[in-house]
Structure 1
Amino acid sequence: MAAEDRHPELRTATLDEIIGREPPRPDTVTAVIQQTVKPEAIERYEQWLRKVMPIAARFPGHRGVNVIHPPAGTLQYTITIRFDSLAHAQDWFGSEARRQLIDEVAEFLDADENVETRSGLEFWFRPTAGQRPAKRYKQFLLTLSVIYPLTMLVPAVLRNLFGRVLPTPNYFTEHFIASAAIVALMVYVIMPRYTRLMSRWLYK
């Protein structure tokens, strides 16, 4: 965590002062970039990708990038890049460095790139080409079916663990660790698999 993101005064703040604070923005922002490459330019395009990724990683708030290679019969690459806030994502996408990189790759592409920016869990409800968007009530029910058991089980497991390691655990520390564990399980473990498993119902 950067020094400017820390708030030492919270160590001595009262419970009422904490409750009165505006919550921080909780989720990462994910940008989905789709680029269709000319058949004869694939090797040069892949070299360009290897150049871009470490440059993007130098921008503040960068949280990782994934490249999904084209399915059989297509030449469309999908790149997902994550930032810790919309402001940091905009810094990258509006930068002169990225503009120069896009100028470099233009000759390798068969069409203009497509960029969509999504925050938090909304990313996992992004339909594939040709699918209708998932109805909001289905997104709500699917997310609730994950959140509800996690908020029951994770704190109970951690409370049992803390009881063995720390006889009198700090409430805020315990709550923070439980929240971080739930978000990590949602984003990295459960939602990517669960939305694929339920896709027929979700996008019906």
Structure 2
Amino acid sequence: MKESINYIKQSSNPAPGVVAIAHCVKPGLEAAFEEALRGVTLAASTFPGYLGSNVLYPSTKRGLWQLIVRFDTPQHLQEWEESVICQGWIARAEALTVDDPQVIHVNSLEAWFALPEIPKSPPPPKWKTAIVSAVGLYPIISIMPTILRPITSGLPFWLANLVSICIMMPLMTWVVMPQVTRLFKGWLYPNK
């Protein structure tokens, strides 16, 4: 795994460290692989700078499973990846797969546009990701305030906004953007 990892020099204001790891799981071992992914994310959560993880499930049984792990800095991500704990969990997961992992380091919201069925693809141009993000965000910011009004109407403005954001961002990350990215896949990745 370490041979395929490239670290980018960061500016004085570093972006989060994000890695996407894609695997094709051996038939019949999907439940064991999912358990290994839970172990990886639980272990990662004990390291400094851990921000969260996502699992993108394959659209078919033979598709790629993709684990996205986020740390606050590339340095914290590197510390996690080089740790004995990480290497142990990764080895356990890799024993359940049919090939070597496909590892991609991404920056910030690029993870929204990572599709397991198109591994190792460079991210789409920023102008395309901005348009697709707006397409996903527009219905959320148009509909959610109305839906949340019964919950947030008695709260101070700042707290109502905080509650809204805490609901909208996970919804964008795990529900809306994976679907919108798949919908616009041909436009975002025209040569794939």
Bucket of the pairwise TM-score, normalised by the shorter protein: 0.5 to 0.7
Partner residue, 2:55: 66
Distance 1:28 1:189, change over 3 A: farther
Cα offset, 1:80, TM superposition:
0.4
Name whichever structure is richer in helix by fraction: 1
Partner residue, 2:9: none
The structure whose RCO (Cα within 8 Å, separation 6+) is larger is: 2
Cα offset, 1:64, TM superposition:
4.3
Map 1:67-106; keep pairs closer than 5 Å: 68=57, 77-83=64-70, 85-86=72-73, 88-101=76-89
Assess if the C-alpha contact under 8 Å between 2:22 and 2:66 holds in 1: yes
Assess if the C-alpha contact under 8 Å between 1:154 and 1:178 holds in 2: yes
- TM-score by structure 1 length? 0.58
Q: Which runs of 5+ in 1 are unaligned?
A: 1-24
Distance 1:185 1:109, change over 3 A: closer
Distance of 1:90 and 1:82 partners within structure 2: 11
Partner residue, 1:5: none
Assess if the C-alpha contact under 8 Å between 1:64 and 1:81 holds in 2: yes
Partner residue, 2:177: 191
Cα offset, 1:126, TM superposition:
2.8
Distance of 2:142 and 2:129 partners within structure 1: 20
Q: Which runs of 5+ in 2 are unaligned?
A: 1-13
- TM-score by structure 2 length? 0.61
Say which one has the larger Rg: 1
Q: Which SS does the other structure have where 2:124 is aligned?
A: coil
Distance of 1:45 and 1:182 partners within structure 2: 30
Cα offset, 1:191, TM superposition:
0.7
Task: Say how many residue pairs are matched.
Answer: 170
Q: Which amino acid aligns with 2:39?
A: P
Distance of 1:106 and 1:150 partners within structure 2: 37
Return the match for 1:201 from 173, 176, 187.
Answer: 187
Give the CA RMSD over aligned residues.
Answer: 4.1
Distance 1:147 1:103, change over 3 A: closer
Distance of 1:188 and 1:36 partners within structure 2: 21
Distance 1:137 1:105, change over 3 A: closer
Q: Which amino acid aligns with 2:160?
A: E
Q: Which amino acid aligns with 1:126?
A: A
Cα offset, 1:143, TM superposition:
0.7
